[in-house]
Structure 1
Amino acid sequence: GADAVEALKSAGVLDDVLAKIDAGQLQLTGQGGFLPEMVKAVLERGLAAELTDHLGYDKGDPVGRELPNARNGFTPKTVASEVGDVGLAIPRDRDGSFTPT
């Protein structure tokens, strides 16, 4: 956690984000806010990785064409988090066997 924040500080990214918040150009919390969007991005990346593990091949890998199960879009779901409700796109597989944890 702390190392990641330091890396963002060193790259100037954190200052840019905080300046936008101070200027009223970016909301920190609430729908569409920075924190809920970060939670969304992290969770969706994890879900995508979990589906890749479940299917046994990376997205776009031609080997997937030869296998019976494949990615099959997304299902919307809203989850409650410490920073508020977050709308997620939960990935699906064709045979319905993917149950993310």
Structure 2
Amino acid sequence: MSSYRQHLYHIVFRTKDSKPTINPENSGQLYAYITGIIKNRESFLYRINGVENHIHILTDMNPSIAPVDFVKDIKVSSSKWIKGSGFFPDRNIQLLQS
């Protein structure tokens, strides 16, 4: 007997104060970094995209991970990466869950 499970989540992050900080020149690096976080959590990313002040993520999350921990890991890790990457001129930005 086999089983099938799927836990799809649509996660939206916005920039602090909804500042238009994510532009085409730096969005690719940010999306790649977030993709790595999701893969390291043994989850599958269907899509990631966004505009200047927010990002949408559609993912099949590993069922052994609590959703709150999954979102927190993406938020904390990507915010630290943004501040240290050099791709974002406004180093005071961070991603917040919408």
- TM-score, length of structure 1 as denominator length: 0.35
Higher relative contact order (CA 8 A, sep 6+): 2
Structure with higher helix content? 1
